[in-house]
Structure 1
Amino acid sequence: MLNLKTGKLNKNYKITEMHIQNKHMIQRLNALGLNNGTNVKIKQKCLFKGPCILEINGQNLSIRGCDACQIFLEEAHG
C-alpha cells in the first residue's frame, strides 16, 4: 500500500487513510489541514526513518518518519 514514505517526490497524492494511534497527534495534524481527502505533495524524504516534508494547501509541513508510514495515499488525478 502506498504511504508518505513510499510515495514519489513532487507528485500529487490524496490521503485515503490515517492509522496513527496517538489521538493528540491526529488532532494536531487535523488542525494543520492533514486529514482524509486532503491533497498533498511530497517535497522531501530523509533517509533512515527521518522526516518527510509535505506541501499542503500552500504550506510546508514536516512529519516524523514513523507517522509518515501510517498515512496512506492514492494518486490524485487532475
Structure 2
Amino acid sequence: MRIFAAAVLLPFMASGALADATCKAQATDKKLAGAALASFTKKCTGDAQTACDAQATAKKLAGAAKTSFTKKCVADAVGG
C-alpha cells in the first residue's frame, strides 16, 4: 500500500519542485561551474526523468504518447 501511495503522490510532489525553477536556473542561482555544474545537471535531469516517467504512468500513457510527454516534460524541467 505504501508503494501505491508513493507512486500516486510522487508526480505531484516532483512537479511542484520542478515548477519552482528549471535545472539551469537552479544551477545559475547556486553559481555552479565546471564539474559541480555537470554533476548537478546530471542529477537534476535524472530526477526530472524519474518524475516525468511517474507522471506519464499516472496518466496511463504508453508508446509514442508516453515518449513524447516524457521528452517535453524533461525538457521543460531542465530548461532551454
Give TM-score scaled by structure 1 length.
0.24
Higher-Rg member (1/2): 2
Alignment TM-score, normalising by the size of structure 2: 0.23
Higher percent of residues as helix: 2
